[in-house]
Amino acid sequence: MSDPTQTPLSGAVLMYNQPEPLDAEKHARLGMKRMAAPFSFAAKQHFVPLHVGEFGPAGVSYPIIFAGDAYAPLAVMGLQEGENLYVDAQGGFRAGCYVPAFIRRYPFVGARDDQMQRTVICIDRSADLWTEENPDVMLFENGQPTEFTKSCIDFCGQFDQDRARTDNFVELLKSLDLFETKQTTFTPRDPNTGAAGQPVLVAEYYAVSEAKLNALPAEKIVELRDNGALQQIYAHLMSLLGWDRIIAESMLRGNVAAAPVAGNA
């Protein structure tokens, strides 16, 4: 738990508008209500961070790319800002699709207290699901975290451990110089004649280079296989086949834009 007089927390996290340290006194009466639109908070998020352990299940539903100076792994859920093809207008998540841990963790999050050198569990106080009037699930009872709150705290702890493993995975790929810049395009066609137009850039990002991977020494491939990295690399590469599906759906909605989904800067 946290002290309301603690120093400010560092960092900003996607989708968290008002992170507030979890506190037994301040949040004594606070709880969560069941929501008819549980995933509406992610409705305008077109990409979501992933952990390397999620590549297998996530790759079935989304293209997995790497972006930014940190080569952060991302699940692509839309082609432009404000578009999430997997959250419907009622705030429901598409049936049968993997829900990333980043979304499942919400509205809890671990925030770094740099002065005290510790991680503090916070909640997004701006979320619509909080109430002090007859909540379905309480955060605290008799000054102690409820079993629900304990499970959320544990999930945040596991999330941070998985993030550290993901950082190590990315550093391994960087050390082997396996990344390359890739582009995804689509070619529009005239609806009347079927004539192909000029290719339109949809996304620019980093991905593992199959050529560089295949050029590694045999002993290095065996090492990647034995430490589990090769399986995750292949899951990433296979996920890129999902671009056609996500482009087709965005086109049906009339939302395809000639702009990168995630740049490499």
Q: pLDDT digits over 92-124, tens only? A: 999 999 999 999 999 999 887 666 567 889 999
Q: What is the mean pLDDT of the chain?
A: 87
pLDDT of residue 115: 67
pLDDT of residue 248: 87
Any idea which of 156-170, 206-220, 246-260 has the lowest mean pLDDT? 246-260
The total of other beta-carbon atoms located within 10 Å of residue 4's CB is 9
**What average pLDDT score do residues 243-253 get?**
86
47 vs 103: CA distance, rounded Å: 11
pLDDT of residue 165: 97
In the sheet where 108-113 sits, what is the strand order?
Answer: 19-21, 118-124, 108-113
For 137-195, write each residue's pLDDT tens digit: 999 999 999 999 999 999 999 999 999 999 999 999 999 999 999 999 877 666 666 66
Please state whether beta strands 31-32 and 72-76 pair in parallel, antiparallel, or not at all (unpaired): unpaired
pLDDT of residue 4: 29
The total of other beta-carbon atoms located within 10 Å of residue 241's CB is 10
Rg (CA), the chain: 21
pLDDT of residue 13: 79
Question: Given a cut of 70, is residue 48 above it in pLDDT?
Answer: yes
Tokens of 221: 């491939």
Question: Given a cut of 80, is residue 86 above it in pLDDT?
Answer: yes
**What average pLDDT score do residues 235-246 get?**
95
Beta-strand runs (E) in the chain = 19-21, 31-32, 47-49, 64-67, 72-76, 108-113, 118-124, 130-131, 137-138, 140-141, 144-145, 179-186, 200-208
pLDDT of residue 176: 98
Question: Given a cut of 50, is residue 2 above it in pLDDT?
Answer: no
For 18-36, write each residue's pLDDT tens digit: 999 999 999 999 999 988 7
Instruction: List CB contacts of 228: < 8 A, sequence separation 6 or more.
Output: none
Question: Given a cut of 70, is residue 257 above it in pLDDT?
Answer: no
Q: Quote the percentage of the chain above a pLDDT of 70.
A: 86
> What's the pTM value of the predicted model, to 2 decimals?
0.86
194 vs 220: CA distance, rounded Å: 48
Please state whether beta strands 200-208 and 179-186 pair in parallel, antiparallel, or not at all (unpaired): antiparallel
**What average pLDDT score do residues 2-17 get?**
54
Report the Cα–Cα distance between both ends of the chain, in Å, rounded: 37
Question: Given a cut of 60, is residue 8 above it in pLDDT?
Answer: no
